């Protein structure tokens, strides 16, 4: 099976590297050519264009930043879908809004291409260690075909139903993640103002039953004042924007999530966009 991987950022580069560890016949493509070099050195083939990258692939995996970029690459400027071979499978691991995933499925089906939305839970270390969790939407027979490939990059594959269901669940997960980080940060900052030791707070609060488990990892970032990126803050802002857009489509109010979106927007404006999303703590600390 020939596989093509498109989008070699923080997550995609590591996911593609794990495919190579399993001797997958892999072609890679990225707008920035430098990102392809380590994978080519590890055994991948590089493509000179998006059209060349997809034309012989049985499976194409994309890990791109926003719906706008996905649409540009596959439908508008790049027109990648026009160069897929009939019967190929497109797995989009990008975090996008559910209605966009449904649109991509319809567009792919019109070209006799199977589509799966498969966004992931996890950050850079999980991608590196093949410990991602895939939230998958698509037809069962198609998901079964690509299950072994997904398993090379992750520890768990959750098939949640038809197309769009993977994107729906990922949206909920990131809404919780974004808001939980703010709650944790505000708690720590108030504790400090009341005279409690910062180290005590960062070591104790993440271990309480009321705390989100991921805060254990973010507490060490706060303690070191080091927000080296694992999940960029700007993409968390993007995910909250997509959640707000989806809530509008379903006529569901999102009072707290929209407030969180504006807080992340202000952090982006202050220059924290390429730091880890835990840098929302630094933003709040400076206010």
DSSP 8-class letter at 232: B
Residue 114 CA neighbour count, 13 Å, CB half: 19
- Residue 264: count other Cβ atoms within 10 Å of its Cβ: 27
CA 21 to chain centre: 22
Q: Report helix, strand or coil for 276.
A: strand
Residue 7: left if φ>0, alpha if ψ -120 to 50, beta else—which one? left
Distance between CA atoms of residues 255 and 68, nearest Å: 26
A 10 A CB-CB count for 194 gives 8
Instruction: Give the active site residues.
Output: 170
Percentage helix, strand, coil for the chain under 3-state DSSP, each rounded to 5 = 55, 15, 30
Give the integer Cα–Cα distance in Å for 122 and 237. Answer: 17
């Amino acid at each position: 099976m020939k596989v093509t991987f498109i989008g070699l950022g923080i997550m995609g580069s590591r996911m593609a590297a794990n495919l190579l560890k399993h001797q997958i016949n892999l072609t890679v493509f990225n707008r920035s050519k430098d990102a392809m070099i380590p994978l080519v050195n590890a055994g991948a083939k590089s493509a000179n264009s998006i059209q060349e990258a997809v034309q012989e692939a049985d499976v194409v995996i994309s890990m791109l930043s926003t719906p706008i970029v996905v649409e540009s690459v596959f439908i508008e400027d790049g027109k990648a879908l026009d160069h897929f071979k009939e019967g190929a499978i497109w797995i989009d691991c990008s975090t996008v809004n559910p209605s966009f995933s449904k649109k991509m499925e319809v567009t792919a089906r019109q070209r006799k291409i199977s589509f799966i939305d498969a966004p992931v839970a996890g950050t850079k270390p999980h991608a590196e260690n093949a410990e991602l969790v895939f939230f998958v939407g698509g037809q069962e027979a198609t998901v079964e075909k690509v299950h072994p490939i997904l398993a090379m990059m992750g520890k768990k594959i959750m098939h949640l139903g038809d197309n769009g269901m993977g994107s729906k669940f990922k949206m909920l997960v990131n809404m919780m993640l974004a808001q939980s980080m703010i709650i944790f940060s505000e708690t720590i900052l108030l504790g400090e103002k009341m005279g409690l030791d910062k180290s005590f707070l960062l070591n104790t609060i993440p271990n309480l039953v009321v705390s989100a488990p991921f805060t254990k990892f973010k507490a060490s970032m706060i303690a070191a004042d080091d927000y080296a990126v694992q999940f960029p803050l700007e993409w968390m802002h993007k995910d909250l924007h997509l959640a707000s857009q989806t809530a509008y489509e379903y006529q569901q109010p999102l009072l707290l999530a929209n407030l969180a979106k504006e807080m992340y927007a202000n952090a982006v404006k202050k220059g924290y966009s390429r730091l880890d999303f835990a840098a929302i703590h630094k933003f709040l600390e400076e206010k």
